[in-house]
Chain A
Amino acid sequence: MKCGDKVNLKNRIRKRSVNTRTNGNGRDEAELLPEKDHESLSDSLEENLDRIRASLGNSWDLAIRSIFLGSSGDIRVAVLHMNGLSDNKLISRFMESFMLNGKEVSLAGPGNEDGPAHTLRSLKDHLITLGTVEEKHDYKAILNCLLSGDSIILADRCDSVLVAATKGWDERGVQEASVQTVVRGPRESFSENLGTNIALLRRKIKSPSLWVETTTIGRITETNVSIAYVKWTVNEEVVDEVRRRLADIDIDGILESGNIEEWIQDKTFTPFPTMLNTERPDVVAANLLEGRVAIFVDGTPVVLLVPVVFMQFFQSPEDYYNRSDFGLLRMLRFVALFTTLLAPAVFISITTFHQEMLPPTLMISIASQRERVPFPAAVEAFLMEFTFELLREAGIRMPRAVGPAISIVGALVLGEAAVQAGIVSSAMVIIVSITAITSFVFPSFSMTIPIRFLRFVLMGLAAFCGLFGVFIGLIAINLHLCGLYSFGVPYMSPIAPTILGDQKDLFIRLPQWMMRKRPSFIGSPNKTRISQGEASSKFPSWQGDDGNR
């Protein structure tokens, strides 16, 4: 795949720059850990504890509890965990078991064949009252487990440790979706925990063909990243491509799925998102059923979906839950798209270049408003649009408590007073308000950002050469969109290339039973969504049997 190669090259270039940076500072993570740290542990408990303490730089959240077990109390055992990452209840439960039955642990097994290793085995087999306990040798893996919240149990004269799964920390539970809200449909949204998120998805798709693969990305953060897909519907090529691009990422930290998105997107220099992000499990489930791949990142509720097309950013999950209205609401969204993109640009070009397009009365009304305004329409528009963007940005960043202050400043000072003072015309205030309202219509927030940006570009072109400039801008946007790909799928499909079968769910949404096929541009190997038999029994025979009653 051509675009894949490009990504590969991009990553290679980036890798080189990352390497030079770390070498320059001399603080690569590999250098922080001495060479021997990749090897196994030593025999001495004290030495091992010192080594772990040294590796963590005597961090205060490392908790070490030493106890003595065995019939004569001569077997020294240490339990290590990180404060706050581990569930204290679980730890105290098996500590309790140690205290009560510790005397039964013997140094050597029957026949003395194993020596110290037997200590651990008897601990594991008889004393630890937990679901998952593993024996580990590799020092790096042990540290990793400790730092992810597991407890480490070391015993004297043992060069291996037990890892007990005691992960447990305070987290935000599953809450109502706050960004992508719906009137009808499930309320729950993803949380920050990867395990919870996958579980939320599995509760929607109970089939064994929902496969989840997990890798670790980020040399320092070691973030778990999972890709999920439905084996039955997914295009293997896409999965391979996702795996390959994820494997190419070489960075010190992944904190949010946005970090991943930037590394694996097809084209960097585009304002348009080529990956869909969502916080809703039902959206992820529906997309997986259509054959897409989901990328979960530990620590964020935002899940990425690939491959996506432009039109998907205008589809709300609710379109599928409400009765099919044959797309009236979707049409509204497309009208909003063009309004928010074009309203100020068209206003500028009509008032500056093409006054003849306005009916005389309207033109006189606008002209009389603009009489007092000292600026040309373009300056006025830029001023107001810029102010609105500032207000919107301030609305996101400001502390909650000052919210009312901002709205008063925005509505009264900038709207009312600016018109009163004769700085802007009220027609321009109306245009800016329409632009503002329509820009909030889109179900996907990531699509509003390019549209906000392009609105200013089009305003500039309109101020420069009127409707002709607007036309040039629109064609340029169209060309750019037509040249984009999302994981090998043309971004404008199914419009260009035209795929009539997939247009059933585009500007309009046909009733569910009419959409028998999955979208073909994704390349799902199993195209049929609805088996023929079920579809034909859509109209039961008792329909219209009034005469028989």
Chain B
Amino acid sequence: MLNNGKIGAYPFMVLVTMFIVGDALLYVPAWLASAAKQDAWIAALLCMAEGALLAILYNAVAKRFYPATIVEMSGIAFGKWAGAAVALFFIIFIVIDISFLLMETGDFVTTQMMPDMPVEVILILFSGIAVSAARRGVQTMSRSAESLFPWFVALYVIFVLFISPQIKLSRIEPVFHAGFIPVLHGSFKYLGNMEEVVILLMLFPFVKLPERGTKALFLGVLLGNFILSAFTAITILVMGSTLTTMFSYPSYALAQKISIGDFFQRIEAIMAFMWFITVFIKIAVCYFAASFGIAQLLKLPDYRIVTLPLGMITIVLGLQLVPNRPYFNQFASLFWTPYTLTFGQLLPLLLLGVALLRKSVGKEERV
């Protein structure tokens, strides 16, 4: 029967897709538009190509070291102490990422949906279910993602269909108005989100067949990016680049514009569910990755004992890291991409380089 702790390729693909869409759905249009203006959709497509390249890199690393997680990989590649240090920094990276994700949710709910609600309540509720998802293990988490994915797709399709009457093609003209540089700049901001996929390498060893897992990772990255690109394009097509840049949550503002027959309108709270679903999966995966990594690093018998303290730490850390929204915007657009590059680009390249140089490394781990 199916109770052996491993997950199939399709659930993994769903996890990857929902991870990529994650929090990006809500503000990526704004980031892209702030740099690339009406060419934001080109920047998004460019990111799709970047994402595909990244996926190839991650796949190479994951396959080479299967069935090792990033934490074990760094131990294998860099030796005991250096490896532990790298793993520690990697885990800190995940923890910071969780804190930001939580604060994004809290900020969004308190500023857009329920202004009277203390942000701490939102954080506790949201991290509560994410931690409980992480505690139930990869299998339950992936099943949850699988069962939520159709809902996400349905909401997305409804969203796109309902907003499509307001599309005006003239809003993306002129194409390449300022050349290619702003487009590159825009895609660079967005890259930070893509690099976070490296966290999923903590889950890769749970995939039953690594060959199909790599395919799933690749397809998942492409699908997730497609969803984001299409969404960016629609946001620009409906609101134009200036308006998109002005909103901190352009897609939420977009949902407010939906109006079918003057009755079916202001359904943005339901559309927010779409975003909650993906960000929940992303946070849950991150919680699992962080606690599983800590357990592997400290050789704990069970990762579950770490999850609850981790949940508490991330809530407080989030409140400390993000004092206000402008600070977050500044941080996210200036520092986040370089920071993720360290772990999303440099670390896998180093791992792969070491593995190629010392030909034996990682080989014996292959099944």
Contacts and interface: CB of A to CB of B under 8 A. Distances in A.
B129 interface: yes
Nearest to A353: B114
A225 to B, nearest CB: 24
B8 interface: yes
A472 B125 contact: yes
Interface in B80-122: 109, 113-114, 117, 121-122
B265 interface: yes
B175 interface: no
A498 B3 contact: no
20 contacts: A357-B267, A467-B269, A468-B113, A469-B125, A472-B126, A475-B148, A476-B132, A479-B136, A479-B144, A482-B144, A482-B147, A483-B143, A490-B2, A496-B11, A496-B142, A496-B144, A496-B147, A497-B11, A498-B10, A498-B11
Of residues B11, B121, B140, which shows the largest number of chain A Cβ atoms within 10 Å of its Cβ? B140
Contacts of B146: 495-498
A230 to B, nearest CB: 19
Nearest to A491: B143
Interface of B: 1-3, 8, 10-11, 109, 113-114, 117, 121-122, 125-126, 128-129, 132-133, 136, 140, 142-148, 262-263, 265-267, 269-270, 272-273, 276-277, 280
A478 B280 CA distance: 12
A53 interface: no
A422 to B, nearest CB: 27
A506 to B, nearest CB: 12
B132 to A, nearest CB: 6
A23 to B, nearest CB: 37
Interface in A346-360: 353-354, 356-357, 359
Contacts of B133: 479
Given A357-B267, A475-B280, A492-B147, A465 B2 contact: no
| Closest 6 A/B residue pairs (Cβ) | A496-B143, A482-B143, A496-B146, A496-B147, A483-B140, A488-B1
A314 B111 CA distance: 40
B74 to A, nearest CB: 31
Q: Which of B129, B263, B272 has the most CB of A within 10 A?
A: B129
A359 B2 contact: no
B148 A478 contact: yes
Contacts of B1: 1, 237, 488-489, 523
A1 B3 contact: yes
Contacts of B280: 475
A3 interface: yes
B262 A495 contact: no
Nearest to A487: B1
A472 B131 CA distance: 13
A345 to B, nearest CB: 13
B213 to A, nearest CB: 15
Interface residues of A, number: 35
A84 to B, nearest CB: 47
B122 A468 contact: yes
A523 B144 CA distance: 22
The dominant DSSP class at the B interface is: helix
Contacts, number: 102
Chain B CB count within 10 A is highest, among A237, A471, A476, for A471
Contact of B265 (A237, A359, A521): A359
Given A472-B129, A497-B142, 11 more contacts: A354-B113, A354-B269, A357-B267, A359-B263, A465-B122, A467-B269, A467-B273, A482-B144, A483-B140, A495-B146, A497-B8
A36 interface: no
B262 A465 contact: no
A237 B2 CA distance: 13
Nearest to B262: A359
A485 B262 CA distance: 46
A467 B144 contact: no
Contacts of B136: 479, 482-483
A467 B271 CA distance: 11
A464 to B, nearest CB: 8
Contacts of A471: 273, 276
A357 B143 contact: no
Contacts of A1: 1, 3
Contacts of B125: 465, 468-469, 472
Interface in A127-175: none
Given A1-B1, A497-B146, A466 B114 contact: yes
Contacts of A475: 129, 144, 148, 276-277, 280
B140 to A, nearest CB: 4
Most chain B CB neighbours (cut-off 10 Å) among A482, A493, A521: A482
A495 B145 CA distance: 11
A479 B137 CA distance: 11
A357 B269 contact: yes
A356 B266 contact: yes
A2 interface: yes
Contact of B147 (A356, A468, A495): A495
Interface string A67-97: 0000000000000000000000000000000
A396 B277 CA distance: 40
B302 to A, nearest CB: 14
B129 A497 contact: no
Given A359-B263, A468-B109, A478 B147 contact: yes
A353 B142 CA distance: 32
Nearest to A362: B263
A496 B11 CA distance: 8
